[in-house]
Structure 1
C-alpha cells in the first residue's frame, strides 16, 4: 500500500457503538438538509411528553429547512431526478452530500458519523455517512481503486476478530465527480454482515457512505440497499 493511501485514510474507520441523540448543539443543525414528508410531521405531532416537546419543535424546523434546501439545489443535483418509490432523500447542503434511504427507516445517531438511518426492527440494517478532511482533490488521488478499497476493508472497516471478503468494485462518474462503490463482507465468530460502501472526495473532504445488513438478510435486501449506495452524491459547498 502506498504512503499516499495510508496517510490519506488516517483515522479510526472501524464501526463503533451507538450513542444517544443529543439536543441542538451546533449552528449547522439549523441549516443542514434533512428528510422531510407529511409522515415525519404527523409522527412528531404525536409526541406528547414534555421532555420531547423541544425535540419535536426542532425536527419540525429542520423539516421545513430541508424542503427549502432541496428547492435551492441546482438542476444537476439529486432532485433533478425522481426519487424512487419507497425511498426518501436526505440532503445535507451544509456538509455537501445527499443520498436516498428506505422510507420506513428511522434517523439515529451513529457515533463519529454525520448522518445515519436504520431499519426500525433490525439495527444492523442501516446506512451511515461520515467524512474526514483531506488535501486530495479527487478519489483518484488516493491511489488505485483496488489498493484503496483493499486497505479500507481490511485495515479500517474490519475489526481484529473479523475476516474481510471483497466481492465487487465499481467506479462511476456523476456530475464531474468520481466515486468508488464496492461490496464486502465482515465475518465475526458470532455473526456476519455484508455491505456496500461508496467513497468520494470533494470539498476538501473524504466522504464514506456504508449501507449494510446481517448476512442472512443480505440476499433478500441487496438490491434495495444497492439503490442507497448508488444514490450517494457529493454536492459543491
Structure 2
C-alpha cells in the first residue's frame, strides 16, 4: 500500500509528550512498537518489530488489552467492529509460505472451522449457519504471497428451548457477521489479521476494513 508517514525524532526527556504526537515509538524491553499517523489523519500505522508485522487502522479505534490475541483494536462505539492479529507459536510452527495451507479455498475452510470452534456454545437451541464467501491470493508490494478469506456466520437461538410444544421453540436471528481474514507467513510463523463487522454495517465500514486488509504486512524479525 502507499502510505506517507509523518515521523518525528523526540528527545528521551520528552517521551511523555511523545504520547500525544503524531508518531510514537514504545520501547518495551526487546519489543519496539511504532505508531505513526498517516497523511490526512484518518489512519494510524502500527508496526511491531518484535513479532514482525504491521498494518494501519482507523485513528479513532482503541486498543483492548487482554483480548487473547497478539493485538486487538475496536471501534469505541460499535463494539462488534474490530480487528486482531493472531500468530502461530514460534516453537511449534515451521511454515515456509502461506501455500503450506494448501490453495486459498482449502485455507478458507480452515479459517471457517476455526471461527466456528471459537463460537461453539453449550446453550440449548443455538444454531449456526456459515458460508465461505470468497478465497483469493495476492502478491503484495513486499513481494510476499498473502491469502484473503471472507466468511459469513449467522447465529440463531430460541428464548424458550425448554418449551414442550415445538411451535413455542421458535429460533430467531441473534447476530449476522462478516469476517475478513488475511493470512501471511514469515519467520516460520503463520500470521492472521482478523476483522469483523455486522453485515448490516458492512456498506458503512467496508472501505476502512479493506484499507486495513490491504495494509497488512509480515516482516522479517531482525536477530
Could you state the TM-score of these two structures normalised by the residue count of structure 2? 0.68
> 8 Å contact 1:126–1:211 — kept in the other structure?
yes
Secondary structure at the aligned position of 1:222 is classed as helix
Secondary structure at the aligned position of 1:210 is classed as strand
> 8 Å contact 2:25–2:34 — kept in the other structure?
no
Secondary structure at the aligned position of 1:224 is classed as helix
Within the alignment, does 1:176 sit opposite 2:134 as a pair?
no
Correspondent of 2:104 among 124, 140, 145: 145
Structure with more strand by fraction: 2
Question: What is the root-mean-square deviation of aligned Cα atoms in Å?
Answer: 3.0
Secondary structure at the aligned position of 1:191 is classed as strand
Indicate the residue corresponding to 1:114 in structure 2: 70
Change (3 A) 1:216 1:69: closer
Indicate the residue corresponding to 1:224 in structure 2: 208
Q: How much has 1:37 moved relative to structure 2?
A: 9.3
Could you state the TM-score of these two structures normalised by the residue count of structure 1? 0.65
- Structure 2 residues without counterparts, runs of 5 or longer: 1-5, 9-14, 121-126, 157-173
Query: How many residue pairs align between the two structures?
Result: 173
- Structure 1 residues without counterparts, runs of 5 or longer: 1-35, 39-55, 72-78
Change (3 A) 1:162 1:85: farther
> 8 Å contact 1:83–1:89 — kept in the other structure?
no
Q: Note the 1:25-174 alignment, pairs <5 A.
A: 60=19, 63-65=24-26, 85-109=41-65, 111-133=67-89, 134-153=93-112, 155-158=113-116, 159-160=119-120, 161-174=127-140
State the alpha-carbon separation in 2 of the partners of residues 83 and 181 from structure 1.
Answer: 26
